[in-house]
Structure 1
Amino acid sequence: MKDPVQFNTTSDYVYHQLRNQIITKKLRAGQRLPEITLAKQLEVSRTPVREALRRLANEGMVQLIPNGGARLLAPTKEEIVGTYEVRDYLERLAVKKAASRITPLQICRLEEQIELEEKSFQERDLESYLEVNNSFHRIIAEASGNIILADYIDNVLSRTYVFLVFYETFFDFQTNPSLDEHRAILKALSDHDEDLSVKLMEDHLSLSLKGLAP
């Protein structure tokens, strides 16, 4: 076992090792995850591997097959398009409401997320980048003032997070188009421009969907 000391349990260690391999695309969508093989690779017993796979399944990254082991999720194009259709509807509503309600503090928090997003992109830290990106959208949902809407958006962000982990290719580019899109949305929100905020969010999500290639 390598560097297990920093983790509370062996299961926690296995979980982080597997999650890192997924994030860095060392493991691919649809790939089988045999417990015996993983246990040998990580120098642990099968029990913590099984527990880690259950945890990843709860996050939507792994599919547990009855009497068939586990494999990484392989979302279909139809599932991705359907999820983005829902996300587009919810986030356009959220940004519309946020445009008239957003506070100076929430504006500052969005500015901070953009700075962190730029840093994580430069460092090619995909996991950090995706977390920061989701935080940007969660703050807007929060600014809508509708906690039910924010809860639905949080759920759909978790789903699209998995798609981005498996299929996003923006680290193949030298610059990140999402940064400018987020800056434009922030400017529209700061100006309390409802129509422009909605249009920019719609365009942003449309481009995000196009960047996925299952």
Structure 2
Amino acid sequence: MPDAPIDSDSAASRAYRAILDGILTGAHTGGSMLSESAIADSVGVSRTPVRAALIRLQDEGWLTIFPKRGALVREVSAQAVADLAQSKVLLESGAVRSACSTLRRRTAESLREQLAEQRETLEARDLPGFVELSIDFHRSFVIAARNAVLTELYDRLADRQRFLLFSYGQRLFDRSDEILAEHAAMLDALAAAGAPVGAPVEAVGGDADPTEPALARFEALLRHHLNETYRLDP
């Protein structure tokens, strides 16, 4: 009995995810050429859904299609890296500023437990594990604002973050102690900008906000951390 036909949308989605995962993890490096037929064979689909997946990835800026030759994986420019880092600073620090003081401290306390997991993954050289923990760590700053639109905007940067963190794998291992110290320092500043755990959830504001020095320190620490992680100039 013949196999049931594969739904084209499902096949295209499988091809898309397989290609993108290869780019994010470094299996498909910047400057490499991807073949439709090779991808179709590895994913187990026809070339039609692969072609659809490549077009989608080109629209998203991951590669460039050259007819009859294949698709070239784009290399990330220094400006693109700087733009991502700056976007993270604006979104994460802005979210922390708009979060109520109680949620700032609650976020800091809950994330302290994750630092031990981060250390374990770095010591085990578990890059995929650390990448996901790091993304979740920084995303928590945005979630603290309780703004669904802000969180949605931030989540659109997740794959770009994965790509860069995977590409800096060895650097992350080399800087493991510094990364953990930087994360801990950010949590100290976040806690200092918050109210004690158990206090009523209410916003802190006004012209004489007593948390301003701690918020400014959080932003400075975040900026330094991203500069070091993404190898940017201070």
Alignment of 1:147 with 2:168, yes or no, is no
Residue in structure 1 matched with residue 182 of structure 2 by the alignment: 181
Residue in structure 2 matched with residue 102 of structure 1 by the alignment: 103
Say if 1:33 and 1:70, in contact at 8 Å, map to a contact too: yes
Q: Which amino acid aligns with 1:32?
A: M
Say if 1:64 and 1:71, in contact at 8 Å, map to a contact too: yes
Cα offset, 1:32, TM superposition? 0.8
Give TM-score scaled by structure 1 length.
Answer: 0.72
* Structure 1: runs of 5 or more not aligned: 1-8
Cα pair distance change 1:113/1:48, threshold 3 Å? farther
Cα offset, 1:149, TM superposition? 3.0
Residue in structure 1 matched with residue 36 of structure 2 by the alignment: 35
Secondary structure in 1 matching 2:116 = helix
Cα pair distance change 1:96/1:204, threshold 3 Å? farther
Distance 2:47 2:219 in 1: 49
The answer to which of 83-92 and 196-205 deviates more is 83-92
User: For residues 93-132 of structure 1, what are the structure 2 equivalents within 5 Å?
Assistant: 93-98=94-99, 100-102=101-103, 105-132=106-133
Q: Which amino acid aligns with 1:107?
A: A
Residue in structure 2 matched with residue 3 of structure 1 by the alignment: none
Cα offset, 1:88, TM superposition? 2.1
Residue in structure 1 matched with residue 201 of structure 2 by the alignment: none
Cα offset, 1:11, TM superposition? 7.0
Say if 2:89 and 2:219, in contact at 8 Å, map to a contact too: no
Give TM-score scaled by structure 2 length.
Answer: 0.67
Say if 1:92 and 1:202, in contact at 8 Å, map to a contact too: no
Residue in structure 2 matched with residue 6 of structure 1 by the alignment: none
* Structure 2: runs of 5 or more not aligned: 1-9, 194-213
Cα pair distance change 1:45/1:123, threshold 3 Å? farther
Residue in structure 2 matched with residue 65 of structure 1 by the alignment: 65
The answer to which of 133-142 and 89-98 deviates more is 89-98
Q: Sequence identity, in percent?
A: 27
Distance 1:127 1:57 in 2: 25
Secondary structure in 1 matching 2:176 = coil
Alignment of 1:198 with 2:219, yes or no, is yes
Cα offset, 1:111, TM superposition? 2.3
The answer to which of 167-176 and 119-128 deviates more is 167-176
Residue in structure 1 matched with residue 202 of structure 2 by the alignment: none
Give the number of equivalent residue pairs.
203
For residues 63-121 of structure 1, what are the alpha-carbon distances to aligned partners after superposition, in whole Å with 9 as ceiling and x for unaligned? Answer: 25263532323111122222322322222222333472425653343124323322222
- Alpha-carbon RMSD across the aligned residues, in angstroms, is 3.5
Residue in structure 2 matched with residue 87 of structure 1 by the alignment: 88
For residues 135-187 of structure 1, what are the alpha-carbon distances to aligned partners after superposition, in whole Å with 9 as ceiling and x for unaligned? Answer: 11111111134433333333334433323333454245273422111111112
Say if 1:121 and 1:129, in contact at 8 Å, map to a contact too: yes
Secondary structure in 1 matching 2:157 = helix
Cα offset, 1:34, TM superposition? 0.6
